[in-house]
């Protein structure tokens, strides 16, 4: 990878979700950390600050205390679309906040593909009724229920997909086969998406404290590249399962600029509760440098 491609591949990749588990930082600490990331040598990798809709007022107070003049914001609405209008109004009331994204789960669905499509259609229709002031809307669809038809509905409404790649329980982590199926389907339809949770480190690994198998964000980047190159679901799953850090880093370093652009055109970002961890991994693997 050329020197110009490296920042391109990682630019805006890390959405700051430090308010969320497992970090669960207090608002003041999360805001000060985000300000630090935005001013650091790796600032181009830092995306918007992710905040639940119930904490927007608390966020505004923390910005006053921190003396911050502006903050790009992604608002998560865990309770669904019913609080969307109030959240958009709360952001608009604070001139320092720049609404960049809205993230809403479609809710619980049964195993029937038709139920998922119906849930996506209902949420998209509700979103259509609320002016988002140019913000991007991400519809969180459970990885196990993501289908081509559900993606088509989201795309028809000009909304993007959010995939949950981890959480606080083992069943929140989709295995390689499930995630590979999602990535190949998204790539086949050229549907942009973001990921959330679980991607704490660059390369796939088993967490020592929980025993959970975590996907690596570099694995996901390479898996998207493979999917765009018409790899099979099984081949993409093999990329996701690779735990050879040196080999994964070497493969990433060999991506050319055109491929990097295509990959990031699909894989827009992921929420991480600690921007420091992925940056440290990239430095250790020799993929970014302060100098």
In what helix (H) or strand (E) does residue 97 lie, and over which residues does it extend?
strand 97-105
User: What is the structure's pLDDT at 5?
Assistant: 57
The C-alpha atoms of residue 13 and residue 33 are separated, in whole angstroms, by 17
User: CA torsion angle for 201, 214, 233, 8 (degrees, to 10)?
Assistant: -20
Residue with tokens 């505004």: 60
Strand partners, 101: 74, 136
Select from 238, 239, 222, 224 the least CA-distant residue to 287.
222
Structure-block tokens of residue 44: 């181009």
In the chain the domains, ranked by start, together with CATH numbers, are: 5-284 (3.20.20)
User: What is the structure's pLDDT at 208?
Assistant: 82
Q: Cα–Cα distances in Å, from 80 out to 29, 87, 115?
A: 27, 11, 17
Select from 233, 218, 242, 130 the least CA-distant residue to 183.
233
Taking the model in full, what pTM does it have? 0.95
Alpha-helix runs per DSSP H in 161-270 = 176-188, 217-228, 233-241, 245-253, 257-266
Structure-block tokens of residue 142: 């459970």
User: What is the structure's pLDDT at 116?
Assistant: 96
**Are residues 179 and 254 in contact, defined by beta-carbon separation less than 8 angstroms?**
no
The residues near 123 (Cβ < 8 Å, ≥ 6 apart) are 80, 81, 104, 106, 107, 139
User: What is the structure's pLDDT at 169?
Assistant: 87
What pLDDT tens digit does each residue of the chain (291 aa) get?
Answer: 344 455 789 999 999 999 999 899 999 999 999 999 999 999 999 999 999 999 999 999 999 999 999 999 999 999 999 999 999 999 999 999 999 999 999 998 887 899 999 999 999 999 999 999 899 999 999 999 999 999 999 999 999 999 999 988 888 899 999 999 999 999 999 999 999 998 989 999 888 888 888 999 999 999 999 999 999 999 999 999 999 999 999 999 999 999 999 999 999 999 999 999 999 999 999 999 987
């Amino acid at each position: 990878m050329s020197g110009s491609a490296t920042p391109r591949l990682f630019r805006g990749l890390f959405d700051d979700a430090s308010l969320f588990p497992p970090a669960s930082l207090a608002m003041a600490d999360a805001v000060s950390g985000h300000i630090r990331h935005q001013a650091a040598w790796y600032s181009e990798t830092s995306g918007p600050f992710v905040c639940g809709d119930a904490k927007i007022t608390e966020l505004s107070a923390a910005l006053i205390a921190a003396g911050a003049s502006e903050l790009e914001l992604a608002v998560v609405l865990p309770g669904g679309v019913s609080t969307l209008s109030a959240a958009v109004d709360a952001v608009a009331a604070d001139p320092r906040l720049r609404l960049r994204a809205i993230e809403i789960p479609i809710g619980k669905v049964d195993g029937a593909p038709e139920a998922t499509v119906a849930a996506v259609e209902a949420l998209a229709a509700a979103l259509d009724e609320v002016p988002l002031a140019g913000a991007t809307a991400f519809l969180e669809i459970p990885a196990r229920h993501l289908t081509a038809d559900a993606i088509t509905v989201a795309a028809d409404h000009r909304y993007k997909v959010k995939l949950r790649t981890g959480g606080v329980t083992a069943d929140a982590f989709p295995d390689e086969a499930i995630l590979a199926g999602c990535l190949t389907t998204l790539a086949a339809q050229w549907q942009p998406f973001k990921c959330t949770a679980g991607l704490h480190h660059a390369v796939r690994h088993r967490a020592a404290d929980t025993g959970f198998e975590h996907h690596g964000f570099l694995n996901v980047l390479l898996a998207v590249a493979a999917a765009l190159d018409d790899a099979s679901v099984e081949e993409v799953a093999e990329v996701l399962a690779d735990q050879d850090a040196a080999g994964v880093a070497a493969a990433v370093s060999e991506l050319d600029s055109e491929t990097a652009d295509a990959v990031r055109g699909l894989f827009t970002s992921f929420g991480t509760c600690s921007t420091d961890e992925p940056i440290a991994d990239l430095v250790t693997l020799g993929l970014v440098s302060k100098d």
